[in-house]
Amino acid sequence: MSDIIMVYVTMPSEEVAKEIVRALLEKHLIACATMWPCKSMYWWEGAIQEDGEYIVLAKTREDAFEAIKTAISAMHPYQIPCILKLNATANEAYAKWVQEHI
């Protein structure tokens, strides 16, 4: 059985977040995702930027990460999207559910 991971991605809007999450779900690359608004500050083109964004935290298997990175990169509007893999340990019932839905 593959390990459970979480994939952290920032999106420019709720609409983009929903579109990308739905595509990942339809491709059976993730079992579920949680989304919430945030404020981000970052360096871009030599200046500090501040924007509203949406955070997506998707739950999936380790062996799906490469396909997820490829899919998100193809759909994401940012020139350099933030796609982070976070190792996770889950309770047995939840881990089984994630495994069954990918």
Domain extents for the chain?
A: 4-100
Average pLDDT over residues 22-46: 97
What's the pLDDT tens digit per position in 60-73?
A: 999 999 999 999 99
Residue 5: per-residue pLDDT: 96
The Cα 66–Cα 77 span in angstroms is: 19
Task: Please give the model's pTM, rounded to 2 decimal places.
Answer: 0.92
How large a percentage of the chain has pLDDT more than 90? 93
Where does the pLDDT of residue 2 fall: very low under 50, low under 70, confident under 90, or very high at 90 and above? low
- Classify 4-100 by CATH class: alpha beta
Q: Which residue, 7, 12, 6, is CA-closest to 54?
A: 12
Average pLDDT over residues 51-62: 97
Strand order in the sheet with 32-44: 32-44, 47-61, 4-11, 83-87
